[in-house]
Amino acid sequence: MVRGIRGAITIENNTETDISIATEELVRELIVKNNIDPNTVAQVLFTVTDDITAAFPAKVLRQFAGWSYVPVVCAGEISVPNSLPLCIRILMTVNTDVEQDQIAHVYLREATKLRPDLTLTNE
């Protein structure tokens, strides 16, 4: 069965270093909490708010062992007034037998504001 695993994290500054550190933290948490094997991942979609322009989060995922053949794309988030700034979001499409309510979605730093309901259940 195919499931989507969501997550998000914010950065302090629009720098390649901040983007890389935050993306690595987010991806590592998703992999560990969901026991993800890259061979079960169909695709990964990253979106970023329009104030993030210094680097591609997808580049960070390629540094994880075994992830070089997983299709990954970056896109821009819709620019909604008063939305959370400097935010990186991720959606992994994964083949798994895990039930929907057992998926561990990961929201870190200021991104916990996006889905407090999921943040509290997955800590």
State the catalytic residues. 6, 62, 74, 77, 89, 107, 115
* 122: its two tokens: 């997955």
Q: Name the residue among 121, 55, 58 with its Cα closest to residue 92.
A: 58
Tell me how far apart the alpha carbons of residues 90 and 23 are, in angstroms, rounded to a whole number: 9
| Strand spans (E) along 14-117 | 41-48, 72-76, 87-95, 106-107
Residue whose token pair is 């407090």:
116
